Chains A and B, each alone.
Chain A
């Protein structure tokens, strides 16, 4: 099939960016969008141009490295799908796709479609853990966790840290990311001792990083590749803070 890619090109954060358009003929419908970028890059390299920079690694939707806007939608039009799992068969022959990086104050641009998301690591460092050391663990069966409780905790623990929730929010809020982590640990017995401190510390860090407050438009839930429910944001707001 034929496809036109209109890609945001920006050499570095301190230089202005602009769109560059490339037409590709005869690309297979069975390629992922990232594989189309690979193909484009091989052409650019052979003709002496700078290839397009984008983050990627596992290419099976689990590492959370990849992510950009496809026609304004984080990870593109398909629900529950990160952009590495978005195949051309989702689009019509001759489609034009505009690719933009995540744009958020807390995610500074690096190059082209790459941005820096280390703010997420600092949110986790602020309290996204159970303070336990190696060798101090009791028997794993000592604290029973009901199946439904375990399943619910799991459903929030699946967040891959891609940043789509932030990129899709008009306030660039990290509420869904934070709520998911608080809900993961807050629903399990292991997470109880630090529950209030954790909620306090991560939400303070979220403000310090420059993430906005929840815009309540639920776009975060719509774009989340792991389909984490925005109900957890309400749950988070009910969590006690110091």
Chain B
């Protein structure tokens, strides 16, 4: 343990090809022996489906758990814009080292450089893999793969399938997974909510899952467990995440000893359709690829009442172009979000409550024609029209930032193993390559890199080096996990309140977006912590969870999730309070330059924070120092 952490197992020697060297040094297992080893994969998004299919292909007996009725529903399906890969085919000078540098720099030097390098090296192979599966990427007329440039990048390295890239990549992984199901190598268990991790002698050996139709609690044991359960933006209630996305699997693992890294690093996406009514249940993302052709602006005059098309150009403030001449409308997500919020707070916003800014495609439509724009963004334009009731071909869209992605997650070492031996964490659920801020089109890249290429090697290495007996499902550790899960469910069902879960979740979300959203300060964070504690206490007494433990019970599912969000929310607030600097998506108002730009503190905070849960008392903050050899920390500037 260094600084209270396990060894992160970062490779030594030159950064380039470090992954290749690591992989070649990892032990292997004969295919025959693999057939006797059970692997549990939780989640069927890009990370989970790709890992499960690849591990099954290697010969392991894989069991996959998903809370959906089908693996194809996982929220990766909603990713729109694209997937980055450094293929150096275009003539704009892209390369592995540029993608590496952009990822590290975009994350504001709060990620491990070895991880960023590996991601950039693997990226190209991901595209080949997906093409072989039949993913219908956009093509040039000559038949080669098309690319576009994407938020935060100056090169064209984003591969895409119209505005439905996540859907197409997920279906590629899903179909590959279903092939393994058909071959009998994967046992697919749908409608299972994972509610507890089972550890035996400190090693992850299984999970407790609730069958969402029968309500029955089940124990599943294996040699190793992979959590691929996505991010936790739903702590904010209103976010771009699907409604069932949650933190429960990683939060229960955290309570069992897995360190939680940088929980306060949450990304607020600048281009979302703003909220209106109190019963609105989610915010819908408009891919930021729209910023390639769209111009973001606000009226120069506060309180402007004219329709946007009657405001002349000279009375419009294209504020991103004004403030960031090099990047303009392509300025990274966190910067764009913050500027929008500041201007709206200053009374310059448009729409209901002045909580939105214009994203205007009319110049692009004039220049290229409606058909060209429709070909690029057709589905996004339709979606906007459906939700808002306005036609974006004729009227600028209204957008506002919304919680979208969480860079924080369970701490993992270079092998993607958490601080609980035998527990691997993949995709958005882990803390890894995105540092304090993720670049656009990098989430799909990371999920698939973890699932197709990294975990299959490192999970094998773990299993090769750790002989173990099978764990019977009536092992004391399983019984104890099962009983504690029963108790949690009974407590919720026996609460004698009258208030629905949603009402508490909404309240939690409003505290979190206010205190721990786009902009944070110490007093607010402290007050937020008190508010969340008080709200959790009220939840215990006042919530009503109707129905029984058996049978379908959506309210019970929600109550279990919201209960876990209360714990996570407090950890996020603590983490944001302890990180006395501004970096990436974490903006502390106390730490900014005179011009309002983030002020990072590399002397005191060039580290990954990893929180240890304590059964009694406050969590303990550990830190993993970050070393930079290939690229020295510089101030992020998009001017």
**Interface of A with B (CB < 8 Å)?**
11-12, 27-28, 30-32, 34-36, 38-39, 41-42, 45-46, 48-51, 53, 55-65, 78, 80-81, 85, 87, 89, 110-111, 114, 116-118, 120-121, 124-126, 128-141, 143-147, 149-151, 153-154, 157-158, 160-161, 184-185, 188, 190-191
Given A114-B552, A134-B129, A139-B128, answer yes or no on A150-B243 (Cβ-Cβ < 8 Å): no
Q: Are B175 and A190 in contact (CB under 8 A)?
A: no
Once bound together, how far apart are the Cα atoms of A184 and B167, in whole Å? Answer: 14
Contact of A140 among B145, B285, B555 (CB under 8 A): B145
**Interface of B with A (CB < 8 Å)?**
50, 53-54, 57, 68-73, 75, 77-78, 89, 125, 127-134, 136-146, 161-162, 164, 167-168, 171, 174-176, 178-179, 181-182, 188, 190, 213, 242-244, 276-277, 279-282, 284-285, 382-383, 386-387, 389, 452-453, 456, 498-500, 502-503, 544, 546-547, 551-552, 554-555
**Interchain residue pairs with CB less than 8 A apart (22):** A28-B279, A30-B280, A31-B280, A32-B281, A45-B544, A50-B547, A51-B554, A56-B243, A58-B77, A58-B78, A59-B282, A62-B78, A62-B164, A111-B552, A129-B134, A130-B133, A136-B132, A137-B129, A137-B131, A144-B144, A147-B139, A184-B134
Given A57-B242, A110-B552, answer yes or no on A87-B387 (Cβ-Cβ < 8 Å): yes
Q: Are A158 and B68 in contact (CB under 8 A)?
A: no
Given A31-B279, A62-B78, A141-B144, answer yes or no on A125-B136 (Cβ-Cβ < 8 Å): no
Q: Are A35 and B280 in contact (CB under 8 A)?
A: yes
Query: Which A residues are CB-close (under 8 A) to B128?
Result: 137-140
The chain B residue with its CB closest to the CB of A134 is B54
Smallest CB separation, B511 vs chain A (Å) = 20
The chain A residue with its CB closest to the CB of B85 is A140
Given A51-B554, A85-B383, A137-B132, answer yes or no on A125-B137 (Cβ-Cβ < 8 Å): no
Q: Are B500 and A134 in contact (CB under 8 A)?
A: no
Q: Are A65 and B178 in contact (CB under 8 A)?
A: no
Q: Beyond the given A48-B544, A110-B552, could you list 18 further A-B residue pairs with CB under 8 A, ordered by the A residue number?
A: A11-B551, A12-B551, A34-B281, A45-B546, A51-B555, A62-B167, A65-B68, A89-B389, A117-B69, A118-B70, A132-B132, A134-B452, A135-B452, A137-B125, A146-B143, A150-B136, A151-B136, A154-B162
Once bound together, how far apart are the Cα atoms of A116 and B191, in whole Å? Answer: 11
Given A59-B282, A191-B134, answer yes or no on A158-B69 (Cβ-Cβ < 8 Å): no
Q: Which 10 A-B pairs have the closest CB atoms?
A: A144-B143, A137-B132, A129-B175, A140-B131, A137-B128, A154-B136, A28-B277, A150-B139, A58-B242, A125-B178
Given A38-B502, A53-B554, answer yes or no on A63-B162 (Cβ-Cβ < 8 Å): no
Q: Are B134 and A130 in contact (CB under 8 A)?
A: yes
Q: Are A157 and B77 in contact (CB under 8 A)?
A: no
The chain B residue with its CB closest to the CB of A123 is B178
Query: Which B residues are CB-close (under 8 A) to A129?
Result: 133-134, 175-176, 178-179
Smallest CB separation, A89 vs chain B (Å) = 6
Q: Are B389 and A87 in contact (CB under 8 A)?
A: yes
The chain A residue with its CB closest to the CB of B176 is A129
The chain A residue with its CB closest to the CB of B73 is A63
Smallest CB separation, B201 vs chain A (Å) = 32
Given A63-B242, A130-B134, A150-B136, answer yes or no on A46-B551 (Cβ-Cβ < 8 Å): no
Query: Which B residues are CB-close (under 8 A) to A81?
Result: 386
Once bound together, how far apart are the Cα atoms of A195 and B159, in whole Å? Answer: 26
Given A57-B73, A129-B178, A161-B72, answer yes or no on A46-B499 (Cβ-Cβ < 8 Å): yes
Contact of B190 among A118, A137, A149 (CB under 8 A): A118
Q: Are B136 and A42 in contact (CB under 8 A)?
A: no
Contact of B141 among A137, A147, A185 (CB under 8 A): A147
Contact of B139 among A12, A118, A128, A146 (CB under 8 A): A146
Query: Which B residues are CB-close (under 8 A) to A140?
Result: 127-128, 130-132, 137, 145
The chain B residue with its CB closest to the CB of A153 is B136
Contact of B279 among A39, A58, A125 (CB under 8 A): A39
Once bound together, how far apart are the Cα atoms of A32 and B77, in whole Å? Answer: 21
Query: Which B residues are CB-close (under 8 A) to A149?
Result: 139
Q: Are B136 and A59 in contact (CB under 8 A)?
A: no
Once bound together, how far apart are the Cα atoms of A41 and B279, in whole Å? Answer: 12
Given A150-B139, A154-B136, A190-B132, answer yes or no on A31-B551 (Cβ-Cβ < 8 Å): no
Smallest CB separation, B52 vs chain A (Å) = 11
Smallest CB separation, B457 vs chain A (Å) = 10
Given A60-B284, A154-B162, answer yes or no on A132-B133 (Cβ-Cβ < 8 Å): yes
Query: Which A residues are CB-close (under 8 A) to B175?
Result: 124, 128-130
Query: Which A residues are CB-close (under 8 A) to B277?
Result: 28, 30-31, 35
Query: Which B residues are CB-close (under 8 A) to A157?
Result: 134, 136, 161, 168, 171
Q: Are B78 and A63 in contact (CB under 8 A)?
A: yes
Smallest CB separation, B288 vs chain A (Å) = 15
Query: Which A residues are CB-close (under 8 A) to B133?
Result: 129-130, 132, 190
Once bound together, how far apart are the Cα atoms of A41 and B552, in whole Å? Answer: 15
Query: Which B residues are CB-close (under 8 A) to A139?
Result: 128
Query: Which B residues are CB-close (under 8 A) to A133?
Result: 54, 57
Smallest CB separation, B611 vs chain A (Å) = 29
Q: Are B500 and A46 in contact (CB under 8 A)?
A: yes
The chain B residue with its CB closest to the CB of A85 is B386
Query: Which A residues are CB-close (under 8 A) to B77?
Result: 58, 62-64, 160
Once bound together, how far apart are the Cα atoms of A185 and B500, in whole Å? Answer: 46
Q: Are B144 and A51 in contact (CB under 8 A)?
A: no
The chain B residue with its CB closest to the CB of A57 is B242
Smallest CB separation, A159 vs chain B (Å) = 9
Contact of B179 among A118, A125, A153 (CB under 8 A): A125
Query: Which B residues are CB-close (under 8 A) to A138?
Result: 128, 132
Once bound together, how far apart are the Cα atoms of A32 and B190, in whole Å? Answer: 27
The chain A residue with its CB closest to the CB of B50 is A134
Query: Which A residues are CB-close (under 8 A) to B285?
Result: 60
Q: Are A126 and B182 in contact (CB under 8 A)?
A: yes
Of residues A34, A65, A188, which shows the largest number of chain B Cβ atoms within 10 Å of its Cβ?
A: A65
Once bound together, how far apart are the Cα atoms of A36 and B128, in whole Å? Answer: 44
Query: Which B residues are CB-close (under 8 A) to A42?
Result: 500, 502-503
Q: Are A185 and B243 in contact (CB under 8 A)?
A: no
Once bound together, how far apart are the Cα atoms of A48 and B547, in whole Å? Answer: 9
Query: Which B residues are CB-close (under 8 A) to A58?
Result: 73, 75, 77-78, 242-243
Contact of A144 among B142, B182, B276, B382 (CB under 8 A): B142
Given A46-B498, A111-B552, answer yes or no on A116-B69 (Cβ-Cβ < 8 Å): yes
